[in-house]
Structure 1
Amino acid sequence: MKQVLKVHPADNVLVALRDLEAESKVTYNGEEYTLKEKIPAKHKFTTTDLQPGDAVTMYGVLVGKASRPIAVGQRISTENLRHAAAGYALSATRRTAWMQPDTSKWKDRTFMGYHRADGSVGTANYWLVIPLVFCENRNVEVLKSAMLKELGYAKPDKYASLMQSLIGKFHDGADALAVQETTWMPEETTGASSRVFPNVDGIKFLTHDGGCGGIRQDAQTLCGLLAGYITHANVAGATILSLGCQNAQISMLQDEIRKRDAQFSKPLYILDQQQTGTESQLITDAIRQTFAGLMQANDISRQAAPLSKLCIGLECGGSDGFSGISANPAIGYTSDLLVALGGSVILAEFPELCGVEQEMSDRCYHSEDANRFIQLMRTYQQRAEEAGSGFDMNPSPGNIKDGLITDAIKSAGAAKKAGTSPVVAVLDYPEKVRQSGLSLLCTPGNDVESTTAEVGSGANIVLFTTGLGTPTGNPIAPVLKLSSNTKLFHHMPDIIDINTGSIIDGTETIEETGERILDYVIAVASGDIAAKSVLNGQDDFIPWKRGVSL
């Protein structure tokens, strides 16, 4: 295994691929470097002497400037490096030429999906129960309690036996120390009981804290997001609970649905509590109508579909210093393969494109999209600064600890998820993907808010890279976790689906890993493999309020 890596020929830092001891000598491309201190794996050291104000370059772009002298072989850190990124502006030149990958082995491949009237194809078949306002959250929970177990969707509680053991010890007079030292291993569960509706993957109950209060634009945006879920290819129909007096009116939701699907024909049941009267009547009506909708949803079965019907969301969270050189470029190659096959890809998390704005805007087919991207980025940054923050405050403590020292370093690596294909559209949250190819979607870098948004815009599968580990999932779309390093893959096997650490280990190329990922995506899209997030019931759903969220 190699000791170090230079990501781009123009870089003046090297990445440690394993722990390197102080005073040890490292050779790269014929140049020898004596390390001034211990360099942990994933961190970087300089290849030239730097003075305060000198640029640090990685991925071929400016990622920071020295805040104090840095000697050759010294680790870059928050103590000696400050965030810096290159400026950007609308260019008259579009850089949309790209080397399409060889897709011959997939040209006749299909996946087994659920075909919808609007021409989209789902990778799953869910029914939704959604409140239009937080006041209805409790009623949604009542419906959930009433329906899941009876319909065969409730999963056994694997921790029930632990609780029973602890209760038994308590009744037997055991002290607190004895309770804490109780030995227990999780039991293998056999899954939910037999489903009443075998062709329906589940009923998803999407509670939230919006719909009223705040500003009217919040209500409009929420209705747009909910409409994105209702019209989503993975959804067969929905039950909507409205209180009646909230800002997010039923008519507003209906307008947003028509924007996304003018010929919308899925079963949709909308109940208004203030019109209905008693809670008992509301719940009774909701159960009856939802059951009728599930009967219709069960009539749909998987049929073959071309890979062009796949829409993949690209996400990263709990990133580390390897994310930008293994997992992210690997799914970037997968993205290029899918785009070349006529599919759709979504890159979001705008705070994590700080420093690569010029590249991304230049990759836009149309200057109008390039300008829109620039304006969205500048507006977002301005609002962050007005709130006393900024993109430079984006890296989390975990990111920094594992080698992502500045937002520009994090962003340059995060952008690798987008591969090399041109940008066909720039979307503002919560707009819907309308065409094949790579689309940019304005969202926060927050894992759940961004994943929620990508699915609302049409992603029927999400590829989620991580170097530290995160359980994030989504109610209606499989979220596949890809580890940037092999250690994480073995350390958290219950949440990680795919290992890309083979790139760091030197046993696989980026292209080979990207191809392996696409094969896995096809299997998941067909229902042959279940994502770990689905098996774990990880149904994260957080709408983004357009206030500042990094």
Structure 2
Amino acid sequence: MNQKVLKVHAADNVVVALTNLSKGETVTLDGQEYTLTDDIHAKHKFVAADLQAGDSIIMYGVLVGKAQSPIKKGGLISTGNVKHAANDFEISEKRNTDWKKPDVSKFAGRTFNGYYRPNGEVGTANYWLVIPMVFCENRNLDVLQESLVRDLGYGRNKKYKYQAQQLIELYKTGKSVEDILSADIRTSASEENAQRLFPNVDGIKFLNHEGGCGGTRQDAQALCGLLAGYITHPNCAGATVLSLGCQNAQVSILEEEIKKRDANFSKPLYILEQQKIGLESDLLAAAIKHTFAGLIIANQTKREPAPLSKLTIGLECGGSDGFSGISANPAIGYTSDLLVGLGGSVILSEFPELCGVEQGLSDRCVQVDIATRFSSLMKTYNARAVAVGSGFDMNPSPGNIKDGLITDAIKSAGAAKKGGTSPVTDVLDYPEKVTKPGLNLLCTPGNDVESTTAEVASGANIVLFTTGLGTPTGNPIAPVVKLSSNTVLYNKMRDIIDINTGTIIEGEETIEQAGERILDYVIKVASGELEISAVRHGQDDFIPWKRGVSL
């Protein structure tokens, strides 16, 4: 790598270190020399000119902080000398919806092999769901999972079970602790790969959760909407629903939410209420029989070619670092633009991580009423956070700060790059469904799992998830493709990372080249040709968002 530093935007007054730099070292960028007054670790920033207390810190061309004390040219910016700051925003009557559509000729006419649903949507996978209406039914889900999954060939991580069995045998033969610790335990391929009874069904997924009762009526309504989003999702073949009967999240609410999303819903759906059936053993027997019958029906659906316009991609980041906003995020931003150019849909969420870039996104909304809704959701969310002693400015995690994201606005400006440059066609509140092609903004927390859970409920049939620190998050029914912002992470955690975009930092490829490479990968994943890390590990994270304050 020849380039040691980078200025992201011409208006910026901070420079990003692409490698570790030493105090006293002089670096050159665009003919300008900078002698460093501090050690600058890779991913962190130094100022391009002397700053006084109160001066603005500009990065990505927007306000991201204010200097709290004088900072000399070449000096490190840190939580000790910079505080979060962001420009306010307003609704403009002028729309900034002209955009330079990328060249999509490489993908024109391309298809993926997916599962067609009765309403015309196309899934990238084919799952059967088992869902509790209330946490009281979680134990019954556990019993069903134990009864069905292994014998039908859907067990994950069986190799660890077989390794434990080998250790048990060693212990029974009287081996010492030292013998056991030095034992070479392996698993054969035949032990790991059980034959599926239903080859066209990718699995049975159990959406355990802690909600459904004891919260507000708003919580119950939102949960039912979320669950309806999964039941009507194109990656779902059908569902078995277990209800206790007396909970806030009533089956009638779920049925209303299903109709909102699919008025002519016709997938197999089996709803079993324990207080009507009586004996728990009878409930479980009925659930096993109905689920098995549903799997027979689901297995009749096979993959068929579908246009790329049938894809909806969720855009997510977690465990972000100082490179996320200049490699992985803009790379999937270009992928986003490519898919929009092909008639597909993308979802940008995590509203606390859009703080400071609201004006640009608001101006990109195709209609004023859509911009108004975005403004209302952002301001209401932040006000709720402030009311309980928090706020969007408290969003960066310790890991974010350690790796260069020292204010929420810096994190946000980089995170927003995931959405590319296309116009915003719709703004959705949690857990509404995507109904329009193009870029959709979805109100969710910045919490990785809550946000990913919501994006899938809104229709994402694949999620692109960028990380600079390493995050193993997945989803029960949608492939969550993990992309590293730097090569060090990719090499260190290749068991959970699918794609490396550190090549951009190293100058090996452009953002556009990486974006095209990612879309090629997405097509293979959507067709079932590639099994990503989160699916391989059975990383089925599912956390509904209770509409309190979660950043």
CA-CA distance at 1:162 after TM superposition: 4.7
Tell me the SS of whatever aligns to 1:45. Answer: strand
Q: Distance in 2 between matches of 1:481 and 1:84?
A: 30
What's 2:346 paired with?
A: 345
Distance in 2 between residues matched to 1:105 and 1:491, nearest whole Å:
33
Cα deviation, 1:374-426, whole Å, max 9, x if unaligned, reads 01000000000111111111000000000000000000000000000000000
Give the Å deviation of 1:92.
1.2
In 2, the alpha carbon distance for the partners of 1:194 and 1:162 equals 20
Moved more, 500-509 or 192-201: 192-201
- Could you tell me which residue of structure 2 aligns to residue 197 of structure 1? 198
1:86/1:185 Cα in 2 relative to 1: closer, same or farther (>3 Å)?
farther
Aligned to 2:97: 96
Distance, in Å, in 1 between the alignment partners of 2:470 and 2:424 is 29
Shift of 1:172: 3.9
Are 2:381 and 1:380 aligned? yes
1:55 is matched by which residue type in structure 2?
A: S
Residue of structure 1 equivalent to 2:229: 228
Deviation, 1:464, is 0.2
> Is this contact kept in 1: 2:166–2:185, CA < 8 A?
no
- For 1:51-450, list aligned pairs within 5 A: 51-160=52-161, 162-164=163-165, 167=168, 168=170, 172=174, 174=176, 178=178, 182=182, 187=187, 189=189, 191-450=192-451
Q: Distance in 2 between matches of 1:8 and 1:229?
A: 40
Partner of 1:529: 530
Does 2:510 correspond to 1:509? yes
- Cα gap change, 1:367 to 1:75, in 2 (>3 Å): same
Structure 1 window deviating more from structure 2 (68-77 vs 406-415): it is 68-77
**Aligned amino acid, residue 134 of structure 2:** V
Code of the residue aligned with 2:147 in structure 1: it is A
> Relative to structure 2, which stretch is displaced further, 161-170 or 253-262?
161-170
- Distance in 2 of aligned mates of 1:192 and 1:128: 22
Change (3 A) 1:146 1:165: closer
Q: Residue by residue, what CA displacement relative to the aligned partner does 1:146-170 show, whole Å, maximum 9, x if unpaired?
A: 0011111113522235535655459
Q: Distance in 1 between matches of 2:54 and 2:186?
A: 54
Between stretches 154-163 and 89-98, larger displacement belongs to: 154-163
Distance in 2, matches of 1:469 and 1:180, equals 31
Alpha-carbon distance in structure 2 between the residues aligned to 1:237 and 1:271: 14
C-alpha spacing 1:50/1:120, structure 2 compared with 1 (3 Å): same
Q: Separation in 1 of the partners of 2:522 and 2:305? A: 15
Note if contact 1:166-1:179 (Cα within 8 Å) is conserved in structure 2. Answer: no
Q: Distance in 2 between matches of 1:189 and 1:386?
A: 55
Which SS does the other structure have where 1:130 is aligned?
A: strand
Counterpart secondary structure, 1:424? strand
Q: Deviations over 1:449-500 (max 9, x none)?
A: 0000000000000000000001000000000000000111111111101111
Q: Give CA-to-partner distance per residue, 1:243-301, whole Å, 9 cap, x none.
A: 00000111010000000000000000000000001010000011111111111101000
SS of 1:238's equivalent?
strand
Q: Which residue is 1:28 aligned to?
A: 29
Aligned AA (1:325): I
* 2: CA distance, partners of 1:395 / 1:163: 40
Shift of 1:192: 3.9
DSSP-derived class of the 2:439 partner: strand
Amino acid at match of 1:66: A
Kept in 2: contact 1:162–1:184 (CA 8 A): no
Q: Secondary structure at the match of 1:237?
A: strand
Matching residue's letter, 1:304: P
Equivalent position amino acid for 1:365 in 2: V
Where 1:453 maps in the other structure, the secondary structure is: helix
Aligned partners of 1:207 and 1:160: how far apart in 2?
23
Q: 1:156 to 1:45 in 2, by over 3 A?
A: closer
Letter paired with 2:116: H
Residue identity (%): 68
Gaps of 5+ in 1: none
Greater shift in the superposed pair: 160-169 or 364-373: 160-169
Q: What is the TM-score with the length of structure 2 in the denominator?
A: 0.97
Within 1, Cα distance between the matches of 2:478 and 2:100? 30
Relative distance call for 1:464 and 1:163 in structure 2 (3 A) is: same
TM-superposed CA distance for 1:118, in Å, is 0.7
1:160-199 CA-partner distances (Å, limit 9, x unpaired): 3553565545974746xx4895465764655441111110
* CA offsets 1:196-242 (integer angstroms, 9 cap, x no match): 11100000000000000010110000000000000000000000000
CA distance in 1, matches of 2:172, 2:33: 64
2-side partners of 1:82 and 1:169: how far apart?
58
Deviations 1:77-102 (A, max 9, x none): 00010000011011111100000001
Distance change (3 Å), C-alpha of 1:368 and 1:195: same
Deviates more, 1:149-158 or 1:159-168: 159-168
Provide the secondary structure at the position in 2 that maps to 1:399. helix
Q: Could you tell which deviates more after superposition, 162-171 or 434-443?
A: 162-171
Q: TM-score, normalised by structure 1?
A: 0.98
**Mapped partners of 1:183, 1:505: distance in 2:** 41
2:14: which partner in 1? 13
Q: Is the 8 A contact 1:153 1:192 kept in 2?
A: no
In 2, Cα distance between the equivalents of 1:473 and 1:296? 26
My pick for the range that moved more, 152-161 or 323-332, is 152-161
Q: Tell me the SS of whatever aligns to 1:149.
A: coil
Matches within 5 A, 1:433-512: 433-512=434-513
Q: Deviations over 1:301-320 (max 9, x none)?
A: 00000000000000000000
Establish whether residue 539 from structure 1 lines up as the match of residue 537 from structure 2.
no
Instruction: Please say if residues 154 and 192 of structure 1, whose CA atoms lie closer than 8 Å, have aligned partners that are also in contact.
Output: no
CA distance, structure 2, for counterparts of residue 547 and residue 131 of structure 1: 22
Moved over 6 A (4+): none
Residue 69 of structure 1 and its aligned partner are, at CA, apart by: 1.1
CA contact (8 A) 2:465 2:480 kept: yes
Distance in 1 between residues matched to 2:172 and 2:85, nearest whole Å: 58
Q: CA RMSD in A?
A: 1.4
Q: Residue type matched to 1:83 in 2?
A: H
Give the distance between the partners of 1:513 and 1:289, measured in 2 at CA: 45
Contact 1:155 1:192 in 2 (8 A): no
Return the alpha-carbon distance in structure 2 between the equivalents of residues 471 and 238 of structure 1: 26
Answer yes or no: is the 8 Å Cα contact 2:157–2:537 preserved in 1: no
